[in-house]
């Protein structure tokens, strides 16, 4: 039995590429959070995907609140959604670090893994049970221009382009913070050797809280991005995004921001290949992507960008 890869023109190929880039950007932003948490405290924050979901619902609520007081300007609504989402979820991330993660520093790593896993269930079920009609998907308002340019089989959506640029700018800003600011220097110092960092006067607890706030805020941005791209949010969306983000961080190299970004785009590329170039229905793209990730992990357990102690985070 032989299979033939379906042929496609350049326009259709370009469409798949732009769609893959959009997915890769969201996955990379989620993966960055995982690698930040692991870099400073050697912990896996397994509720990170559900924190992202909370961010999308906070943004949605902010838009509804603005509409309730008569504000229907898309720019103001978008800014309000982003500020509310990033602010609330950054605070949530800091609270998770303060009251759940830091108290378990001296306990076995499995304890932190379990408590954050259970926290994810609490967040998910809380939205489902207490948010009005929370068990059903919500239509996220289309706040970006719906203009599109079509060239044969290739359609470039302006909203997708804007989201890609916004995600890229956020990554550049994060790179600047980590590598060019005193906070970034403190984060890198704690990631390399927390005891030495504390003897040099660095406030370890504050650095951890701020790192969790930054990682969670980035996830909130990704949650709003996800809502704007698909025009829909639901209480279970963070579960799969969290698993994909964690897988991306692992295959890229847990502890390396650049590895997390690479892993995010690689996972999106695998999904695109699974839905286009293989003789399976697109419903199997996740099966294909995770199967390849398993093989990559067996081949390079330390990730594609192997972590070096001197360059963590």
Task: Answer whether residue 252 is part of any domain.
Answer: yes
SS3 of the chain: helix, strand, coil, percent, to 5: 75, 5, 25
Q: pLDDT value at position 268?
A: 93
Beta bridge partners of 138: 233
Residue 3 resides in a domain:
no
Residue 1 lies in a domain: no
Helix (H) or strand (E) holding 186: helix 182-192
| Cβ–Cβ under 8 Å, residues 243 and 289 | no
Indicate which CATH number applies to the domain containing 241.
1.10.3470
Between these two residues, 306 and 186, which has the higher pLDDT value? 186
- State the residue range of the domain holding 167: 10-311
Burial of 310 (0-12, 13-18, 19+ CB in 10 A): exposed
Does residue 5 lie in a domain region?
Answer: no
| Cα 198 from Cα 186, distance rounded (Å) | 10
Q: Structurally, how many domains does the chain consist of?
A: 1
What is the predicted pLDDT for the residue at 4? Answer: 46
User: What does the alpha-carbon distance between residue 211 and residue 123 come to, in Å, rounded to a whole number?
Assistant: 21
Asked if residue 4 is part of any domain, the answer here is no
Model confidence, pTM:
0.90
Range 139-167 average pLDDT: 87
Please check whether residue 212 lies inside any domain of the structure.
yes
Confidence at 125, pLDDT banded by 50, 70, 90: very high
208 in helix, strand or coil? Answer: helix
Specify if 196 maps to a domain.
yes
Positions of E strands within the chain: 138-139, 148-151, 154-157, 232-233
Q: Can you give the length of the chain in residues? A: 313
First and final C-alpha spacing in the chain: 48
The predicted-structure confidence for 206-251, as pLDDT tens digits, reads as follows 999 999 999 999 999 999 999 999 999 999 999 999 999 999 999 9
In a domain, 159, yes or no: yes
- Confidence tier at 97 by pLDDT (50, 70, 90): very high
- What pLDDT is stored for residue 5 in this prediction? 46
Rounded Cα distance, 85 and 216, in Å? 10
CA neighbor of 59 nearest in space, from 219, 245, 243: 219
- In this prediction, residue 102 has a pLDDT band, given cuts at 50, 70 and 90, of very high
């Amino acid at each position: 039995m032989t299979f033939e890869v379906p042929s496609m023109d350049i326009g259709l190929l370009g469409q798949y590429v732009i769609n893959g880039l959009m997915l890769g950007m969201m996955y990379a932003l989620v993966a960055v959070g995982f690698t930040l948490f692991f870099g400073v405290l050697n912990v896996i924050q397994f509720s990170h995907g559900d924190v992202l979901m909370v961010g999308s619902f906070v943004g949605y609520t902010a838009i509804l609140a603005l509409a309730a007081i008569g504000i229907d300007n898309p720019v103001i609504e978008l800014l309000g959604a982003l500020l509310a989402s990033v602010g609330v979820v950054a605070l949530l991330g800091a609270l998770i670090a303060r009251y759940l993660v830091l108290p378990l520093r001296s306990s076995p790593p499995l304890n932190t893994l379990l408590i954050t896993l259970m926290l994810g269930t609490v967040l998910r079920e809380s939205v489902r049970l207490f948010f009005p009609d929370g068990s059903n998907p919500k239509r996220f308002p289309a706040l970006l221009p719906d203009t599109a340019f079509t060239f044969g089989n290739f359609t470039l959506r302006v909203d997708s382009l804007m989201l890609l640029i916004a995600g890229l700018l956020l990554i550049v800003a994060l790179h600047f913070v980590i590598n060019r600011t005193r906070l970034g220097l403190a984060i890198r110092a704690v990631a390399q050797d927390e005891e030495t960092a504390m003897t040099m006067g660095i406030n370890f607890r504050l650095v951890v809280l701020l790192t969790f706030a930054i990682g969670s805020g980035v996830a909130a941005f990704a949650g709003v991005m996800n809502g704007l791209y698909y025009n829909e949010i639901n209480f279970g969306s963070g579960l799969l995004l969290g698993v994909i983000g964690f897988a991306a961080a692992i295959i890229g190299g847990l502890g390396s921001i650049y590895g997390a970004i690479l892993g995010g785009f690689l996972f999106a590329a695998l999904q695109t290949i699974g839905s286009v170039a293989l003789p399976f229905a697109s419903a199997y793209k996740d099966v294909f992507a995770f199967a390849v990730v398993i093989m990559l992990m067996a081949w390079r357990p330390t990730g594609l960008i192997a972590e070096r102690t001197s360059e963590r985070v």
